[in-house]
Amino acid sequence: MTTPRPTREGQGGGSALFPGSFDPFTRGHADIVRRGLRLFDHIFIAVGVNEQKHGWIPVEERVRALREFYKDEPRISVVSYSTLTVDFARELGAQYILRGLRTHKDYEYELQMADVNRQLAPDIETVVLFSDPELTTVSSSIVRELAHFGRDIGEWLPEGLVYLMKD
């Protein structure tokens, strides 16, 4: 008997939703997207709109800057959403939810989210990638804190990503 050849499905492919606040999108996020492109045919970067939280960068600007940054990558789309993540994934036809994990502090939250999402949509698989060890300290909240105190945040963002901020 011959071993069946791996199918396209068995090798990955398909599309993934990468949901987050991305306020701002950091080098850590960009690394997850870069590595995700090895696994998936298409990645939807989905900026979640939180009605309760205004955030730092307006959602429209988060989307605009990311669209500009990834404009030459046809396998990436940037969208915003304000519904349940699994509902939005289904709407887009994404079979996977992509997330990143830095340390044990992220773990509890990511596990809880993955469990809830599995209950809501058993057909949508959460795929979690471990952070690059050099990027575990990179977080949107630290970037916001540094910006608040007038420090340069350039090295925390992927090179070429520019936010147009009003003073």
Residues forming the active site: 29, 53, 102, 140
| Through-space distance between the first and last CA atoms of the chain, rounded to whole angstroms | 69
Tokens of 71: 């404009």
Residues whose CB is less than 8 angstroms from the CB of residue 30 and which lie 6 or more positions away in sequence, other chains included: 158, 161
CB of 160 to ligand ADP, least distance (A): 18
Calculated CA dihedral for residues 67, 37, 142, 152, nearest 10 degrees:
-60
Number of residues binding to ligand ADP, judged by CB under 6 A? 17
**Would you count residue 139 as binding ligand ADP (CB under 6 A)?**
yes
Rounded Cα distance, 99 and 130, in Å = 9
**Judged by CB under 6 A, does residue 131 bind ligand ADP?**
yes
Q: Does 28 bind ligand ADP (CB under 6 A)?
A: yes
Q: Which of 100, 126, 158, 163 binds ligand ADP (CB under 6 A)?
A: 100
CB 75 within 8 A of CB 14: no
Judged by beta carbon, residue 20 or residue 158, the one nearer ligand ADP is: 20
99 near ligand ADP (CB under 6 A): yes
Using the rule CB under 6 A, is 66 a contact of ligand ADP?
A: no
- Does 94 bind ligand ADP (CB under 6 A)? Our answer is no
Q: What is the CA radius of gyration of the chain?
A: 17
Q: Where along the sequence are the contacts to ligand ADP (CB under 6 A)? A: 20-22, 26, 28-29, 32, 99-102, 106, 131, 135, 138-140
